[in-house]
Amino acid sequence: MPPRLVIAIMKKPTSRTAIALLFAVVLTPFALLFGPTQANIVEPDTQRLAPKTEHFFASRLATRFIGSYHYHSKEQIDDLSDRMFTQYLRVLDGNRLYFDANDIAEMERYRDHLHDALTAADLDPAFDIFNRYLRRVGERTEFAIGLLHDGFDFTTDEEFEFDRREADWAPNREALNDIWRKRVKNDWLLLKLADQDEEQIRETLTDRYANLYRRIREFNSEDVFQFFMNAYARSIEPHSAYMSPRSVDNFEISMRLSLDGIGAMLQRDSEYTTIMEIVPGGPADLDGRLQPGDRVVGVAQGDDEMVEVIGWRLDDVVALIRGERETVVRLQVLPAETGLSGPTREIDIVRDQVRLEEQAASSEIIEVPDGSDVRRIGVVSVPVFYVDFQGRARNEPNYRSSTRDTRRLINELKEEGIDGLVVDLRGNGGGALVEATTMTGLFIDEGPVVQVRDSRGRVSLERDREPGMAWDGPLAVLVDRRSASASEIFAAAIQDYGRGVVVGETTFGKGTVQNLIDLDEFSRSENSRLGQVRLTMAQFYRIAGGSTQSKGVVPDIILPTPGDPADFGESALEFALPWGEIDPTDFLPVADLTDLIVEARERHEQRLTQDEELIRLLEDMADWERESERTTVSLNLELRREEMEAAEARRAARFGHPAADLADVLNGEASSDDDDEATEEDERDLFLFETARILVDLMDLDRDTQRLAHRGDLESAVGLDL
């Protein structure tokens, strides 16, 4: 019999690096809460960590459960030990700043044997590698502090490679010294551009490097075991993980207090802490200034002095940012669009709770010119698929859910006389599966919605069983690369039924289901805690047979997208489960919209070459792509300052003020706070407005056939070519 499972609703996954949720505690399995320390010297290395007794037992249990119940059997992986070796090095030294090629050569003896060692509960290789890492961090930070005495010449033309994730290991210690010389020079230059004098810079950087070493030295054997077990789990599939007892405690606290904080997801990106995602309805979302991709370089409480957090462990940064409700936290960030070249921005946010009302579905009406007429397009924005499970279980008449709220909003929009409807799922990372099913039911007249296949190959079917529809007219679904899980189930069903058009970016591609296994239930002692395993145990499939996994949902009409879509989402994660398909289930499509979509796509592409707003958007995206592709920055002071001034001038020329960025434009927030005469076009959400125009195009093209509307006559429906 399978072990008793603790079921958890898992939202959209994160990147390869550790991620934290800034509500109240850290959710990442790498969670290690250390308080900030101050130090000015690097202490001699006398620390050597070793595994504890409970780690041997936990490793046996975890490997047994992962091997027996994971959706993707590890027996199918021929190079699992090699994967583990690479993953473990990436966890410890992802930017290749501490180990050199000689270190890697000496540790190569473990590469082909790590999985066998773990299966035999031999943890010595993991701890040997980590202890070497501790020594190298001490050597590097001591070297960095030694460089601060003489300062640097910023008139020479040389560059610092800040992103070394794909670089070769430094061939020797001398080459690594040169990498660190440029790194320290870049750190000095950034502070110089921020108008710090030499004495301030030396003090700041001395503290930074010493604190980095002290934080690494605070890792204990439980942390090392967790790092290694995660290297194993994520060598099989990116959403499986091991959580240490401390991480389990943090996770449970987060489930109780998850509505407190600023509402942002963080990840560790090289030496920087980066905003991964803004949580809908949270304080950061309502404030609007903090954006995904921004790098946090400093944190301050209220009016206190700013504390620099470059090089800090992720959880240390989280500990500073989170705090009591109605208190102010100030963040100093490097905006995403400027990269590491700066300058920084300071953002103050009042900590609060993520209120249900702010997370709930909302509506608006967009008026779209259509020749001499104006079309009224209703919009329902759904930031998450939510439901009051307790109220639903008690059959309370007024329990809250995304489906119920959406139905109410649609009825209100119908009373306003809308001609078409857009369901906006941008940034919706998922939520309750039952809500994805019932939400689809608002737009179809009963039928299957999604198939779920478990690790034993058994397929279950989720169906809409309620007759009738809340909206049977023209429909568009707007998605982006952050739309995942339940959002993808909904969008895929609408697309498979031919019920509406899907517009936007290819979605994330998370088509898997995770459960939690509590290892403490198998502990031999009440005082010996073993942690938990998060395990991928099922996969979603569309009613047409294809999976939402990896490929996501490809829109019928793709809006301009900054960056290469292949670099984002599930397919960009190492060892993600592949796309697959099973037999389609029986369902009756409503219409074949292919011909209409082809013509509407042509009209959209024509606007991209003629509409001034869209032309500027494409230019902004090109600038963003050029900046994001850089892996180096100049260490010449005048050149760096010129780049900063040019970037500010471009933003000021396009948006009216230098603080605006690409995210502001896409979200309709590009107008200055001080500009009382901001036009309606300045505040326009370009992606949403273009989706409304696409829907109007489809309505015009469909004036005779009425394929966009669900006519209720299912027997005369045209089948889709699937």
Cβ-proximal residues to 266 (8 Å cutoff; 6+ apart), any chain: 19, 20, 22, 273, 274, 275, 276, 296, 314, 317, 318
Radius of gyration of the chain from Cα atoms?
27
Place of tokens 């590469």: 111
Q: Is 485 one of the catalytic residues?
A: yes
Q: How far apart are CA 437 and CA 493, in angstroms?
A: 9
Parallel/antiparallel/unpaired status of strands 19-21 and 264-269:
antiparallel
Burial (Cβ within 10 Å: 0-12, 13-18, ≥19) of residue 174: exposed
Catalytic residue, candidates 11, 182, 185, 510:
510
Upstream peptide bond of 343 is cis (omega within 30 degrees of 0): yes
Task: Determine phi and psi for 401, rounding to 5 degrees.
Answer: -160, 155
| 3-class secondary structure, 20 | strand
Parallel/antiparallel/unpaired status of strands 328-334 and 352-353:
unpaired
Assign 3-class secondary structure to 180-242. Answer: HHHHHHHHHHHHHHCCCCHHHHHHHHHHHHHHHHHHHHCCCHHHHHHHHHHHHHHHHCCCCEE
Contact 419, 462 (CB under 8 A): no
Question: Other C-beta atoms within 10 Å of 470: how many?
Answer: 18
Q: Is 496 one of the catalytic residues?
A: yes
Catalytic residue, candidates 485, 487, 547, 634:
485
Q: How far apart are CA 232 and CA 80, in angstroms?
A: 8
Catalytic residue, candidates 223, 496, 685, 702:
496
CA torsion sign, 471 to 475 to 480 to 484? positive
Assign 3-class secondary structure to 583-623. Answer: CCCCCCCCCCCHHHHHHHHHHHHHHHHHCHHHHHHHHHHHH
- What is the total residue count of the chain? 722
Burial (Cβ within 10 Å: 0-12, 13-18, ≥19) of residue 531: buried
Of the candidates 508, 518, 590, the residue with the CA atom closest to the CA atom of residue 552: 508
Of the candidates 228, 237, 212, the residue with the CA atom closest to the CA atom of residue 42: 212
The amino acid occupying position 253 is I
Active site amino acids:
485, 496, 510
